[in-house]
Structure 1
């Protein structure tokens, strides 16, 4: 039981009791209230008396209240099992987006905000930043363009882009395709994966359905011995949402048109202007430099993997199958085989030491020690006690969801921090990747009272069975730690306005805090503390392990040193190829958003560009090496990032690594569990959210301007 001081949070958790009709009604109510606030601002403020308080502050306080409900309204489409509720959530998000566009283009509101901006009032730094950002936002939303058909066209484009984004993501969430295989065709794929697949009936009798969800897809690409099966799975996955192909194309063309209406040379220039990089040239130079540094290493890695492929096929009596190529569908398989054979890295054995729930508890313990936090899981009657309705099921959206109340420890003052939700297993209609969602932001309300945040991790790990708990491969441990890092950023942020809360930073910084925390997954002492062999969790698991294992000796409770050493040693194995893959995404993103003129965008062959750049940058062969055209797949149509906020910004994953490597190597490398530095990091970086210039945040923490030295050293490229 939790200590007394952590039992009763001062704020009830959010409720998840919406119906399809209530979602639409609530959305319309929020919009009506917001519109009324904007109307009041215009009525009360004039060019003469306009001030921060009677313009931007009034609307920011309304934004705070709206976010408490609107984030959850849009969240249902990612997690609800009810199709009608998901559809209503999608419809509600469209209403909210349309209203957001209408609000951002109100000339009457812009005039009084402009007047307040020009007054030059003395404000606290966060309020000054809010005024500057809001003022700039109106201009970037077309109000710098004189009222004209051009401005009307800009508004049309904004609305259509919103529709595209919503439909594109819905198609990805609702995707439920797959391929039917016999168990023999899936030779090599772990038995616990194959046994969990849907069994065929009728004409599919004797076969199982392999979905494109991560728990099915990745083990198949890593372990299926049949190259034909891997090829079929890989190409089908690249084409799983082809209805998104035309949507992606339309989005790219409309973005370019909108940017040119505003006077920008292309969409990338428009998007990057207010990020840390500031200009497309800075981004292109960074990506180009990294590409030239990584390319030789990538070619060397491919040569080693080709040798392994040739030997593997020979050992299996399939010498004639080797054609001198190394294909896209080969890579996960031979990368895994290389780690197993040359580094004794058995991912199945490693996974036995990372039962999901034990690993989560270990991660939370690391955050407790580093940042001065306490995580208290709320279960059973505890949920009834803190739910406003007195009904514990009302505070979760699915029975699988875990809820934690999060507190400052005694050294940090025992104050309440917020709520953390974990939704960890796949199900139909659910968001298909791993992500952190803000459910309710934190802020200071108009009475000076703190409003506490709620945040959710939505993942897709394999479900437990009677014989085994959910077990994580090491790369899944890294993913979980990364997303939990976003969750912690969301929880400990303390900003005045919800606009700047938590991960609401510029996109080329937002990944840095989580990427920095990934280093703990490559530190021997932390791997040991996170690990516990699943056979120690219960007598039932112990019996099941003994029956399934050919090893007569009892495994050690925590991961043995030699296995940990092998994991740590492999951190940068095939690292050039991994980063060249990220470069492919980043350079493709810049290519489609950085055309010389609009005619070039309209005639751009996007699928061909995606696949050709992948071949040129990653050096891995696709079906084009077998004589097919570069239009064999539409990978960009499965790439939610470029529709959902990382457009002309995917480079941020790589540029954020520069900042994360600098922070870790400068401050934490010598002692990752230094609580003094952890708390300083919490208060200097995470608490600030987007409330000040992100470069200033970095300089405050590092005591200097950031450097690329640690990043290139980490990659062996300095």
Structure 2
């Protein structure tokens, strides 16, 4: 139980009281205030008098204040149940992006920033983070078109930037609001979990769908059917339909890759990948291509072997294994884990009720990083809300809110707010992600502004007889996203633009990927587990109903189940990583064309499917003579529109860094609090405020190495 010291945060949480009208008004006010500041500085500061103090500091402070509003303005599009508010959020994002493009292409402001840069880039009086701000801002103006001579080319570049912003926002909105699905009879869903089927919408009596259920493409529906449904034709239908959802995004994706290429060439780069990777850790597309190519070469033989073993399993089940299809893989992979490794996913899930799993995860972070998480119930939220109404500090009744503190040993100071939005609903972001709501930074008066961060996930909702139960892979996903949330909370930077996960894309996943290792450590699996019959008397009674007189399971997961999880970590690992390689190589291929004409003539759907077949070795409809244009997976690939363009390789390259950190520091004792705190202060606290390679070297005490990564994959 947290002491009273932890009940009264020094800063109120943000409010979520916007209407469509107030959202648009606030957006206009924020942008107008920033425009006035820009005009005032241009008016008041002569180029020869420009300094970091009179140009960069006012802009940085205004950026800090803007971020407290703009992140939330854009957040509604991912979580609001009000379609009009989501639409207003999307419209506001477009306005903000257009304004940002206009701002970063102002020649008069660039002249001031350029003067400061030339005068103070080597100024020993500037702290390192301020130097980084100056360098990044200066380069940003050039990368946003001010290196192009004024005139028609620069105008065209600006036009492209605005259209790309619009494409990105519309693409993600289409994904969030996708509401498709298929009707199936219960026989067609044979083998799928009964809990899933009982929770699906039923066809109305007298309609053509009477006796059937509606299966959506949301993850809690989609994955269990792909893993457990014994009817191959059902898995086939679901897989193909899911790959063809959001057809309106096909044209948007193609337009985006063509415009990105044109913009890069206007800036003098040979392609978009060269432009994007220049300021990441990898620096050049060749470094990325070599890394992906080497990994592909190492993984390919393992992929072939894994498919052969899975084909034998399929043949034993069906008598036919000429082909091993994309819609076969999750099913036979799951079957292999159950048969050969005694991995009973349903039984394992009984030990991972969502709420107790979250409690266990937070306890790990408390011990490791010296934190305290205090859940704020309705009356607590009333007490700290600026309006006196606790409902105003959450956006949906399902949302959980925590105040986060340093523990007594770390000084008992306030850290920030953590929100958990865990269940699917119409119009909500469909995957699992961490969203910064308000970054931390240093206020003008020298005090600290504390962050607020949100985990948005889509785990099945509890029922009266069962809590929401997580499969082990969902436990890993939740821990990963919580890792991003912790990164966001404990970061301490001067400027909001470097806060938390605001690092280069090929490093940002490393901290969370490293923490995934805790989900494969026996002692931590045990600590996270709690059989749902021990959660409440009602759940115990519900469990007893179907248990036919069996003894109640132990509260913590038994050793044999834990061992079954740990032993499967690298089963079919080559195929999993080849899937990641497919995404990464597709991303690089569409953003690294030899000429602009090549990208204009590219059929992205054909490229996506043909590369997947070549890299993974899994058969799609092309193996049955349908050609490569059968699906449009790229239209559902939000990462490549939402900031991971020419950057998806970062998931694999970050894995190199994360494995190196875990093996070197935490493998012997994952709960070493001393090292946990060193990791917190050396890596997580820095955010993007210094060069990420320098952060890694400071933590490791040496240059990073690929040795642990290849060793973990069995490829060293």
TM-score (norm: length of structure 1): 0.99
- Give the match for residue 178 of structure 2: 175
Asked if 1:448 is matched to 2:446, the reply is yes
- Give the match for residue 44 of structure 2: 44
Q: Secondary structure at the match of 1:607?
A: helix
- Give the match for residue 673 of structure 2: 675
Asked if 1:98 is matched to 2:101, the reply is no
CA distance in 1 between counterparts of 2:616 and 2:203 reads 37
Q: Secondary structure at the match of 1:388?
A: coil
- Give the match for residue 557 of structure 2: 559
Give 1:2 deviation, angstroms: 3.3
- Give the match for residue 316 of structure 1: none
Q: Secondary structure at the match of 1:456?
A: strand
Q: Secondary structure at the match of 1:204?
A: coil
Q: Secondary structure at the match of 1:418?
A: strand
Give 1:553 deviation, angstroms: 2.8
Give 1:323 deviation, angstroms: 4.5
Identify the match of residue 266 of structure 1 among 268, 271, 274: 271
Give 1:548 deviation, angstroms: 2.1
Q: Secondary structure at the match of 2:551?
A: coil
CA distance in 2 between counterparts of 1:613 and 1:448 reads 53
Give 1:41 deviation, angstroms: 1.7
Identify the match of residue 311 of structure 1 among 304, 312, 316: 316
- Give the match for residue 431 of structure 1: 429
Q: Secondary structure at the match of 1:580?
A: helix
* Conserved? CA contact 1:492–1:682, under 8 Å: yes
CA distance in 2 between counterparts of 1:600 and 1:128 reads 40
* CA 1:187–1:534: 2 relative to 1, 3 Å: same
- Give the match for residue 330 of structure 1: 328
Q: Secondary structure at the match of 1:181?
A: strand
Give 1:605 deviation, angstroms: 1.2
Asked if 1:288 is matched to 2:293, the reply is yes
Asked if 1:595 is matched to 2:593, the reply is yes
Identify the match of residue 643 of structure 1 among 621, 628, 641: 641
- Give the match for residue 28 of structure 1: 28
CA distance in 2 between counterparts of 1:556 and 1:606 reads 52
Give 1:550 deviation, angstroms: 5.3
Once the two structures are superposed, residues 630-651 of structure 1 have per-residue CA deviations (whole angstroms, 9 ceiling, x without a partner) of 0000000000000000000000
Identify the match of residue 222 of structure 1 among 221, 227, 240: 227
CA distance in 2 between counterparts of 1:29 and 1:211 reads 40
RMSD value, Cα: 0.7
Once the two structures are superposed, residues 225-249 of structure 1 have per-residue CA deviations (whole angstroms, 9 ceiling, x without a partner) of 0010000000000011111000000
* Conserved? CA contact 1:44–1:54, under 8 Å: no
Once the two structures are superposed, residues 567-613 of structure 1 have per-residue CA deviations (whole angstroms, 9 ceiling, x without a partner) of 00100000000000000000000000000110111001110000000
Give 1:40 deviation, angstroms: 1.6
CA distance in 2 between counterparts of 1:293 and 1:486 reads 30
Q: Secondary structure at the match of 2:208?
A: helix
Once the two structures are superposed, residues 110-139 of structure 1 have per-residue CA deviations (whole angstroms, 9 ceiling, x without a partner) of 000000000023310000000000000000
Asked if 1:128 is matched to 2:131, the reply is yes
CA distance in 2 between counterparts of 1:636 and 1:65 reads 36
* Conserved? CA contact 2:506–2:653, under 8 Å: yes
Q: Secondary structure at the match of 2:238?
A: helix
CA distance in 2 between counterparts of 1:501 and 1:399 reads 29
Once the two structures are superposed, residues 444-501 of structure 1 have per-residue CA deviations (whole angstroms, 9 ceiling, x without a partner) of 0111110000000000000000110000000000000000000000000000000000
Q: Secondary structure at the match of 1:48?
A: helix
Once the two structures are superposed, residues 505-532 of structure 1 have per-residue CA deviations (whole angstroms, 9 ceiling, x without a partner) of 0000000000000000000000000000
- Give the match for residue 687 of structure 2: 689
CA distance in 1 between counterparts of 2:234 and 2:549 reads 31
Where in structure 2 are the equivalents of 1:447-596 lying within 5 Å? 447-549=445-547, 552-596=550-594
- Give the match for residue 149 of structure 1: 152
Once the two structures are superposed, residues 406-449 of structure 1 have per-residue CA deviations (whole angstroms, 9 ceiling, x without a partner) of 00001110000000000000000000000000000000011111
CA distance in 2 between counterparts of 1:456 and 1:68 reads 14
Give 1:108 deviation, angstroms: 0.5
Q: Secondary structure at the match of 2:48?
A: coil
CA distance in 2 between counterparts of 1:247 and 1:335 reads 34
- Give the match for residue 379 of structure 1: 377
CA distance in 2 between counterparts of 1:550 and 1:312 reads 30
TM-score (norm: length of structure 2): 0.99
CA distance in 1 between counterparts of 2:614 and 2:155 reads 41
Q: Secondary structure at the match of 1:41?
A: helix
- Give the match for residue 608 of structure 2: 610
- Give the match for residue 114 of structure 1: 114
- Larger displacement relative to structure 2 (470-479 or 117-126): 117-126
Number of aligned residue pairs: give it.
711
* Conserved? CA contact 1:668–1:677, under 8 Å: yes
Asked if 1:11 is matched to 2:14, the reply is no
Unaligned runs of 5+ in 1: 314-318
CA distance in 2 between counterparts of 1:30 and 1:128 reads 27
Unaligned runs of 5+ in 2: none
* Conserved? CA contact 2:533–2:552, under 8 Å: no
CA distance in 2 between counterparts of 1:57 and 1:286 reads 40
* Deviating 4+ runs (over 4 angstroms): none
- Give the match for residue 194 of structure 1: 197
- Give the match for residue 137 of structure 1: 140
Asked if 1:400 is matched to 2:398, the reply is yes
CA distance in 1 between counterparts of 2:45 and 2:715 reads 57
- Give the match for residue 653 of structure 2: 655
Q: Secondary structure at the match of 1:375?
A: strand
